[in-house]
A and B are shown apart, each in its own frame.
Chain A
Amino acid sequence: MRGLRIYTLLYLAFLYLPIVLLPIFAFNDSTVIAFPLAGFTTQWFTELADIPALHAAVLTSLKIALVTAAVSTLLGICAARAAARYRFPAKGGIMGLVMLPLVLPEIIVAVSLLVVFLQLGLQLSALTVILGHVLICTPFCIAILNGAFQSLDNALEEAAVDLGETGWGAFRLVILPLVMPGIVASMLIAFTISMDEFIIAFFLSGTEATLPVYLWGQLRFPQRLPAVMALGTILVAASVILLTIAELARRRGVRKRGDTDTGGFL
């Protein structure tokens, strides 16, 4: 028992200590990232405000993340609904293939996409990053939305149609409100993944650097390192907030349907 407890603590420390170091050095009054700490400062955060290239990268990332979240959630809705509602040949195989990008090494996906886009003559831009991000985010969206769609009784939609609604009306009035928490959670997670994603963005962004790609570029300049730490702190905080909102939305959905919580994505 005691051994297991120590193991658990070590495991959590391994997971989160590096992240805890981020805010510590972000507020440290020294360009050298090392202990002992030199003193408290917020200058690295104010410095962030004066870098136009950083602002452009943030905007690019936001744009990419928003479009990715919308598109991959839409694709996720279609796939999850198909899986929940219809029987078709080779359904198991098809759903497996759809989920495969979840476990494919990202570097492989990135290189393959690069080759494909170059062959197609596509200019590398925010659009190509979006395509890559949609590819890796959609399985996550499907995983979340599957739960939302599977837990619905098929008779609900039939009941709405039976009471005079069209197929679309039944979907809009009954299915959509019931899976809405899942949709919100899916968009938030796709958004977060896209915001943080580096490898695909690095290969496919061309001249429009995303935030992670920009950050990586800054690592070559040691004096910028504290500012990078500050930025990292902001990103971690934003990610945690977004994922918390996603989980809360999912739990609210479970309560609204009067179901028992069987554990979600988080």
Chain B
Amino acid sequence: MTPLISLAGVEKYYGDYHALRDLTLEIGAGEFFSLLGPSGCGKTTLLRTIAGFETPSSGSLRIDGRDMTGVPANRRPTNMVFQSYAIFPHLSVAENVGFGLRRAAGSRAEKMKKVEEALEMVGLSGFGKRAAHALSGGQRQRVALARALILKPKVLLLDEPMSALDKKLREQMQGELRRLQRQVGITFILVTHDQEEALIMSDRIAVMFDGRIAQLDTPQRLYRAPVNRQVAEFIGMMNFLPGELRREDGRFVASIRGLGTIPLPEEQVPTGAGPGPAQFGLRPESLSVVFGSEALPTGCFSDGTVAERAYYGDMTYYDIALSDGAAPITCSMRNLVSRPVLERGTKVRLAWEPGALCIFPG
């Protein structure tokens, strides 16, 4: 991968506040890259640094091989979709979309054609003459996208573009944005605090906490193998079970409160982890509730009781109290017609996949 954007040792201070801490990162051409983290983690600051609205306190930023030090925002090959969309309210839709072309070469007719093409790309053909302030939230986002893409930037920066939309529209726009990115082949960098959105859309995700990148990985790796408990807690749902990592006859063995003792294959143990106390993570879908005469899946088993259940339509989430009195474990089951939704107090067996265990030493 040839990096389109590379950051080396980027730091940003606001007075005493350390917003970005030693960020080193490469983003490839044509990649859909997400910056994910809670508010205040520095993701927006990083995006604005790439756009040229913030100057790093130290470190270097290169875009397409060019050092961006001292290059102002209006001369960078980046365009941005703002969180508020920043549609110019005194201009029409076409004037908004064509704003970036006013300094470009070409006749008026050519520019009009480009504007029409950009509007068509975002599904707003024929909206050109409308007043910008009369648009709906979804339409504003499309105008912002068309306006940013019309200049054919090397990088499109998106600052929480979906946060102002309601759930249905957000899901629809996520799909459209992903398709649009494949169609234009431009590098997209998305800032979001919505982990589901990041997982759905991205090729790679950088999870940020306190100005640092905690983990940079593909969505699947991030979900399956979070590097620490903070990342694991931020992405998806996970049960954390206290226990101990031991070595017996040269092999790793996990002793987990409530689930018992099982041998672990070497590759599942994080490098550098030694024997000692540890937290064991299991996602709800890696556990299943076995009731009555249902066939037993392969894996490990424990006996328990349904302590609580939450019915979601497609899924039911059970909190299973294990017989040894440990904290209940959350487990999700797909609701099949042939499978009853269990009542509280039902005695069940809990089956789980040892291969899905995440191990966090300490």
Contacts and interface: CB of A to CB of B under 8 A. Distances in A.
A155 interface: yes
A196 interface: no
A174 interface: yes
A47 interface: no
B133 A258 contact: yes
Contacts of B80: 158-159, 162
Contacts of B84: 153, 155
Contact of B86 (A156, A177, A257, A258): A156
A227 to B, nearest CB: 47
Contact of B151 (A160, A163, A166, A258): A163
B79 interface: yes
Q: Which of A153, A163, A173 has the most CB of B within 10 A?
A: A163
Interface in A209-266: 256-258
6 contacts: A156-B88, A161-B73, A164-B74, A164-B102, A165-B103, A256-B90
B51 A162 contact: yes
A178 interface: yes
A159 B87 CA distance: 8
B291 interface: no
Nearest to B159: A155
Interface string A77-101: 0000000000000000000000000
Given A162-B80, A163-B151, A257 B74 contact: no
Contacts of A177: 90
Contacts of B53: 158, 162
B259 to A, nearest CB: 50
Given A160-B88, A162-B80, 6 more contacts: A164-B75, A173-B99, A174-B90, A257-B90, A258-B89, A258-B134
A257 B102 CA distance: 22
A84 B49 CA distance: 22
B3 to A, nearest CB: 22
> Which size class do A's interface residues fall under?
10 to 19
A161 B53 CA distance: 9
Interface in B39-79: 51, 53, 72-75, 78-79
Contact of B88 (A159, A162, A164, A166): A159
A163 B90 contact: no
Contacts of A178: 89-90
Given A164-B74, A165-B74, A258-B134, A159 B86 contact: yes
A257 B133 CA distance: 7
B234 to A, nearest CB: 27
Nearest to A180: B90
A166 B74 contact: yes
Contacts of A162: 51, 53, 73-74, 78-80, 148
B145 to A, nearest CB: 12
B195 interface: no
B83 A163 contact: no
Interface of A: 153, 155-156, 158-166, 173-174, 177-178, 256-258
Given A164-B151, A257-B133, A258-B134, A158 B100 contact: no
B134 A153 contact: no
A158 B90 contact: no
Contacts of A173: 99
Contact of B89 (A160, A163, A166, A257): A257
The 6 closest A-B pairs by CB, nearest first: A258-B133, A163-B100, A155-B86, A159-B86, A155-B82, A257-B89
A258 B87 CA distance: 12
B99 A160 contact: yes
A257 B74 CA distance: 25
Interface string B128-143: 0001011000000000
B283 interface: no
A16 B88 CA distance: 43
B156 to A, nearest CB: 11
Given A155-B83, A257-B89, A161 B74 contact: yes
A164 B89 CA distance: 18
Contacts of A156: 86, 88
B147 interface: yes
Contacts of A160: 88, 99
A182 to B, nearest CB: 13
Contact of A159 (B72, B82, B131, B151): B82
Contacts of A256: 89-90, 133
Contacts of B134: 258
A257 B90 CA distance: 6
Most chain B CB within a 10 A radius of its CB, from A162, A173, A178: A162
A256 B89 CA distance: 7
Nearest to A159: B86
B101 to A, nearest CB: 9
Contacts of A159: 80, 82, 86, 88, 147
Contacts of A258: 89, 131, 133-134
Contacts of A163: 74, 79, 99-100, 147-148, 151
Contacts of B75: 164
